Homo-oligomer: A and B are copies of this chain.
Amino acid sequence: MLIDPDKAAGKPAPAGTSTLDLALRAVEYLVQQSRASSLAQIAEALSASKATIYRHLVTLQKHGFVRQDAQTGRYEAGIKLMVLGEALRQRFDIVSAAREELMILRDHTGQAVTVCAAIDAELIVLELIQGRTLIEFATRPGTRLAFHASAHGKIWLAFGSQERTAAIADGPLQAWTPATIITKEALLADLDRVRERGWATAPDEVITGVNTLAAPVFDHRQILVGSIAIVGATQFITPVPDPEQIREVVGSAARISRGLTWQV
């Protein structure tokens, strides 16, 4: 009997399905492309045969994950992904529970307001209430943020699960700007300050000239379920923010937390 080359090389057995794996890679490939791709192109990129990819695309198209241009016959990502993404976003309790309060926060501060939640190892923007400025600094729903280089992230590291904080602090910390915190010591020291104060900032740490002021939202069990923040030019949200701004953000977060206590 021959020795399985995969097992011999120490690789664990696949355990999943390779057919599905290939199809999912096709979807991801199409989303990355900025224009529609030809069948041959996709097949070559994934090193699979045209026939195989073709059949997968037919099924993906049937479900709306992929669409084919009627004119050129080329393939591109389907809008089902957008629809499913929005459906998923709506499932987060905090989104509906917080909207009214966030509108008020936007009106009081004039700045854009964002809501984030961490799922496993990802920190994702769930909601954006646009500010009054013409230029938009804030990140849109569906965007992923870095834990160590965003005010939202620091809230989750300071008040979220310790395992996550330990994992992030130990891992490599990428520098987005010269101001990004990249050493474990500096990060942990900053988190201590965040815990003390109850709010976090990240001046110039993700984009130079932009600052964010974030505060935690807890549920009835005092478990962190979301973070809210105002986002704007450093000119409006200074590195040491106006006490009034801090009062507004922390106050809104506390009121949303209280709102989450009711609906269990």
Contacts and interface: CB of A to CB of B under 8 A. Distances in A.
Contacts of A144: 83
A58 B134 contact: no
B83 A15 contact: no
A154 interface: no
Interface string A19-34: 1110111011001101
A73 interface: no
A55 interface: yes
How many copies of the chain does the oligomer comprise?
2
Contact of A86 (B28, B78, B85): B85
A48 interface: no
A180 B27 CA distance: 37
A67 interface: yes
A84 B86 contact: no
Given A19-B19, A77-B84, A119-B79, A24 B65 contact: yes
A173 interface: no
Contact of A24 (B63, B107, B122, B130): B63
A251 interface: no
Contacts of A16: 55-56, 58-59, 62
Contacts of A65: 24
A46 interface: no
Interface in A131-152: 134, 136, 140-144
A81 to B, nearest CB: 5
A172 B158 CA distance: 55
A143 B144 CA distance: 21
Interface size class of A (residues with CB under 8 A): 35 or more
Nearest to A18: B59
Q: For chain A, what secondary structure do more than half of its interface residues adopt (helix, strand, loop), or is it mixed?
A: helix
Interface in A7-57: 15-17, 19-21, 23-25, 27-28, 31-32, 34, 55-56
Contacts of A4: none
A88 B104 CA distance: 31
Contacts of A85: 81-86, 142
Contacts of A78: 119
A31 B87 contact: yes
A247 interface: no
A120 interface: yes
A81 B79 contact: no
Given A82-B142, A86-B140, 12 more contacts: A15-B58, A16-B58, A17-B59, A20-B23, A25-B63, A31-B87, A67-B119, A77-B84, A79-B119, A79-B122, A85-B86, A103-B134
